[in-house]
Amino acid sequence: MTTFVSSPLWRSVRAFGVMAGALALSACVSKSETPLSPSVAGPIPGVDISTPRPMQPARGAKIPDNQQPITLAVANATTSGVRPLNYLFEVSADSGFSNKVFSRDGITPGDGQTSLRLPDALATGRTYYWRALAQDGANTGAYSDVSTFDVFTPIVIEAPVPVGPANSVTAESLHPKFTFANAPRTGPVGPITYLIEVAENESFVPRTAAWTSGEQAGQTSLTAPQDLPAATRFFWRVRAADPTAVGPWSPAQVFLTPTPFVAPPPSPSPVGPAPNDALNLGLASVYNSPADIASWPATATISRLEMSSAGLSFVFSQQGSWPDYTPPGWSGPIQYTVWAVVNVAGRWYTSGFIQMWRSRPSTGAPILSDFARNWAYDARWGPMAGYQPHVGEQMGFFVSAGNARGTSGVTSLRQRSNVVTVALPAGDTGVFTFPR
C-alpha cells in the first residue's frame, strides 16, 4: 500500500479546487432556481416560443360597422421554457404596419386560444391588417401570419309608406294609381326598385298582379298597366330593393275597384244647343257621366283654352265661383269637371273626363299624345275607348260644376259652360280665345 503525504503546497491546491467547484455549483443552482424572476435578462438560451395562429376574424372577413367593436382571437402559442406567455396584438391600416391603429401587449392567454375585444370601433369602409406574437418577458416569438378583414357600412332598406289608394277608398278607375313615400335607407345603397303586389286577401296568395317601378323623387307612383276586376276589394303592399339588399314589405292597404258605369243606349236628345254652344251637345251620346248634361243651364262662358304638354287649362266666367263638392271617398273637394266631345266615325260622343280642384292648374294629360291612354282608356267610354285624335281634328270642350266623372246623376249644382270647338294643334301646343 502506498501512502501519500500531504504537503503544505498540495493542501493549498486542493483547497482552491474545492472552492472553485463550490462557486460553479452555486452559480448553476442560482440560475435554475430563479427562471421566473421578472429581472431575468433575456433571451434565455434554449427557450423556443411558437407562432400563434389567427382564428377570428377569418381571413378576408366582411364585418358590418354595426357589429363593432371587433374581437380578435388566436390559437395559443407553445413554449419550451417555464416562464408564462403573454400576447401582443397589432392592427394596422396597411400591410407593412407603418400605420398602426391599435397595439396592445401583455394580454393574458386564454384556455387554448386568446381573445381581445378592441376598445373602440374602427373607421368603416376600409381593409385592416392584424397580427399577434407570444412572449414571456425574456424571450419573444415570431409574429403570426398577417390576416385581414374589412369593415363596411351595411345597407339597410326600410319599408315604404303607402299613400294611396288606402282606407278602403274606391279607386277612380280599374287601373288605379299606387303612390307611396320612398323607403328610408342607410349605407351605400344602389338604385332602388319597388315591387308592388295586389291580391284579394291579406296573405297575398295567390297574387292578382305584381309590378315593378324605379324610384322617383320624394315619393313614387305607378299606374296599374292593366285593368283589375271591377267591384272588388283588393289589398296591396310594396317593398324596396337595391342590387344587394331587399327591404321589408309595407303594411297592406285596402281599396275597392269601381263598379263599371253602364251608359244608357245612345240616342239623340231632343234638347237643342245652348245659345253660344259651338255644337249641339244634345246630339252627343254620353258615357260615364250624367246623360242629361245637354239640358243643364249653361251659366258659364269659356274665354280661353290653352293646350300644352301639361294638358288643358281653361279660363271661364264662373271659375272660382262654383261651390266645391267632395265626392264619396275623396279627401278633398272638386270644383269642376272638364268634358271632351269627340267625333268617332261621324257621331259625337262626350264624357266628363278630368276632375279639377282649385289648386290644379291643368288637366295633366294632353289630348293628341295621351287621349287614348289617359282619357278614354277603357270600356267605360264606349266608342271613345282607345280612340286617338289627330292633328287638325275638330274637338269640343266644356266644363261643368262639381264632379261629373263616373256618376250617372249629380245632386249638387247642375250647371255647365258653353261648348267650344278647336282644331287640335300639332304638338299639343296652342292658345285659343273665344268671345265672352
CATH number at residue 227: 2.60.40.10
Rounded Cα distance between 351 and 265, Å, is: 14
pLDDT of residue 340: 97
pLDDT greater at residue 259 or residue 428: 428
| pLDDT of 319 higher than 50 | yes
**Residue entry with cell 397589432:** 90
pLDDT greater at residue 16 or residue 394: 394
Whether 261 is covered by a domain: the verdict is: no
pLDDT of residue 40: 74
pLDDT of residue 100: 97
Q: What pLDDT digit, counting tens, does each position of 174-217 carry?
A: 889 999 999 999 988 999 999 999 999 999 999 999 999 999 99
Stretch (H or E) spanning 24: helix 8-33
Amino acid at 51: T
Confidence label for 18 from pLDDT (cuts 50, 70 and 90): very low
Amino acid at 88: L
When pLDDT is averaged across residues 249-272 and rounded to a whole number, the result is: 71
| pLDDT of 5 higher than 50 | no
State whether 79 and 207 are in the same domain: no
State whether 196 and 307 are in the same domain: no
38-47, 180-189, 220-229: which has the minimum mean pLDDT? 38-47
pLDDT of residue 328: 79
When pLDDT is averaged across residues 68-93 and rounded to a whole number, the result is: 97
Tell me the average pLDDT of the chain: 88
Confidence label for 411 from pLDDT (cuts 50, 70 and 90): low
State whether 285 and 403 are in the same domain: yes
Whether 333 is covered by a domain: the verdict is: yes
Whether 13 is covered by a domain: the verdict is: no
State whether 348 and 424 are in the same domain: yes
Domain termination site, one of 118, 152, 186: 152
State whether 238 and 121 are in the same domain: no
List for the chain the helix, strand, coil content (%; round to 5).
10, 35, 55
Q: Is the dihedral of CA 399, 402, 404, 405 positive or negative?
A: positive
State whether 356 and 222 are in the same domain: no
Domain extent at residue 183:
156-256
Whether 84 is covered by a domain: the verdict is: yes
Confidence label for 273 from pLDDT (cuts 50, 70 and 90): low
**Residue entry with cell 263598379:** 259
pLDDT of residue 165: 95
State whether 97 and 142 are in the same domain: yes
| pLDDT of 11 higher than 50 | no
When pLDDT is averaged across residues 137-142 and rounded to a whole number, the result is: 95
Q: What cell numbers appear for 115 in the block?
A: 381573445
Domain termination site, one of 129, 152, 175: 152
Chain-centre distance of CA 195, in angstroms? Answer: 10
**Residue entry with cell 401583455:** 106
State whether 210 and 228 are in the same domain: yes
When pLDDT is averaged across residues 58-64 and rounded to a whole number, the result is: 95
Number of domains in the chain: 3
State whether 364 and 425 are in the same domain: yes
Smallest CA-to-CA distance from 148 within 86, 75, 97 is with 97
Whether 135 is covered by a domain: the verdict is: yes
Smallest CA-to-CA distance from 392 within 421, 419, 370, 351 is with 421
Rounded Cα distance between 131 and 376, Å, is: 72
Q: Is the dihedral of CA 100, 102, 105, 110 positive or negative?
A: negative
Cα angle 385-258-311, degrees, rounded to a multiple of 5: 50
When pLDDT is averaged across residues 69-86 and rounded to a whole number, the result is: 96
| pLDDT of 104 higher than 80 | yes
Say what percent of the chain tops pLDDT 90.
Answer: 74
State whether 173 and 245 are in the same domain: yes
Judge contact between 335 and 324, C-beta under 8 A: yes
The pairing of strands 298-300 and 416-417 is: parallel
24-38, 284-298, 318-332: which has the minimum mean pLDDT? 24-38
Domain termination site, one of 217, 239, 256: 256
Chain-centre distance of CA 316, in angstroms? Answer: 44
State whether 57 and 74 are in the same domain: yes
Confidence label for 379 from pLDDT (cuts 50, 70 and 90): confident
Smallest CA-to-CA distance from 318 within 400, 386, 381, 256 is with 400
When pLDDT is averaged across residues 20-48 and rounded to a whole number, the result is: 60
Judge contact between 315 and 366, C-beta under 8 A: no
Whether 25 is covered by a domain: the verdict is: no
State whether 148 and 163 are in the same domain: no
Whether 11 is covered by a domain: the verdict is: no
Whether 268 is covered by a domain: the verdict is: no
